[in-house]
Amino acid sequence: MTQLEAAKRGEITEEMKFVAEREGISPEKLRKSIAKGHTVIFRNVRHDWVKPVAVGNVVRVKVNANIGTSRDIVDVKAEIEKAKVAVKYGADTIMDLSTGGDLDEIRKTIMHAVDVPIGTVPIYQAAEEMLAKGKAIIEMSEDDMWKAVEKHFRDGVDYTTIHVGVTKEVVEKMKRTKRVVGMVSRGGTFLAAWILHWGEENPFYRDYDYLLELAKEYDVVLSLGDGLRPGGLPDAGDELQIAELYTLGRLVRRAREAGVQTMVEGPGHVPIDQIAAQVKLAKVATDNAPFYVLGPIVTDIFPGYDHISAAIGGAIAALNGADFLCYVTPAEHLGLPDVEHVRQGVIAAKIAAHAVNLTRFEADFRKDYLMSLARGRLNWAEQFELSQDKERFIEIRNERPTKTEACSMCGDLCAIKIINDMLAGGKE
């Protein structure tokens, strides 16, 4: 029985109890949200060592970190280190997007290296296996695609991105729609190219009921991918993006009827003044399905700093209803991220998520309240303990020392020190 089926029957599972305790909410409140399809729990029935995580409208905004090899760089140890660093700095889930090396072994190794839920994009493996055979990606058979999906489900991945909204109809629209950037979703592009080559319907869309059967067997959360998300600001909110979104909304409702948990993926590159409207539209179109956004990235001209651009967009998206932020690293658009890029990407996304969570959860606001108290008292030891990145805290303190009780920015001119002394009856 899936989490959704149990919730609909009024049952509270062990996973629901675990999540409710971590979130500081009642199990019944969580159950009701899951029953409506507004919240999902990540935990494949075969991934029994994972700590379940919930994403949705009654729990905290979560952060995902993408890692994985490429065809140019296959360093499994580095990817394991990235996964561990991502979790250390607050990633709630990891997506293995590997496209180079022994993908089965890499996936299983990552799953055993961390205790957070793992997501994947199975079509990547189907495509890579074609290239490994010296064939073109478009030579994938439908059987190749389904085998990749089944393999990932059996291996225990907790959620998978399936670009089920890249339909033959929307691909035809692409021929008539001018885009500045075209398609930037790898999985979506693989399927679009396959459709254009063979003239056939997307197998995941045509045989969606079979996909639901597989997902239900393992209680995998289907992350309905945005294959037509905008890859540049000029394409945000265009006909292709919105057409796919409404297709995904229909598929969400079918999944709920089948007892399968789903969430929907969103943009992408979006001008800052459009983010609120796009998130709210997505929530309406998908009947409040959990919404998973990449960024959104709010400007295209700062390569090397896209983690900051994405954090700005992510905070606005979360404030307006997005539930799950996929981090973006400084290496976005430039190359495969290294460990430091992963750390910076996770921290940026966690700042965005926490900025919203502290407005909704008293326990989260309490952390910031205590930090304010410590700063007001110039209590550096307490500030260190409350800091989310203690290494960075002590690094800057040591690099810029001072002989005063304040910091080296102000020293004896510290506003806090002066007013505290005066209020205590001291002298300037």
State the binding site for [4Fe-4S] cluster. 407, 410, 414
Identify the three-state secondary structure at position 243: helix
DSSP β-bridge partners for residue 158: none
State the binding site. 66, 95, 124, 163, 185-187, 226-229, 265, 269, 292, 333, 407, 410, 414
Peptide bond into 290 cis (omega under 30): no
Cβ-in-10-Å burial (0-12, 13-18, 19+) of 98 comes to buried
State the binding site for substrate. 66, 95, 124, 163, 185-187, 226-229, 265, 292
| Residue whose structure tokens are 């197998």 | 203
Contact 56/79 with Cβ under 8 angstroms? no
Structure-token pair, residue 194: 């396959």
Identify the three-state secondary structure at position 55: strand
Chain centroid to CA 319: how far?
Answer: 16
For every residue of 6-34, DSSP letters joined together read HHHTT---HHHHHHHHHHTS-HHHHHHHH
Contact 110/96 with Cβ under 8 angstroms? yes
DSSP β-bridge partners for residue 264: 224, 291
Structure-token pair, residue 158: 């907790």
User: Cβ neighbours of residue 413 under 8 Å, at least 6 residues apart?
Assistant: none
State the binding site for Zn(2+). 269, 333
* Number of Cβ atoms within 10 Å of the Cβ of 146: 18
d(CA 67, CA 225): 18
| Residue type (1 letter), 232 | G
d(CA 20, CA 14): 10
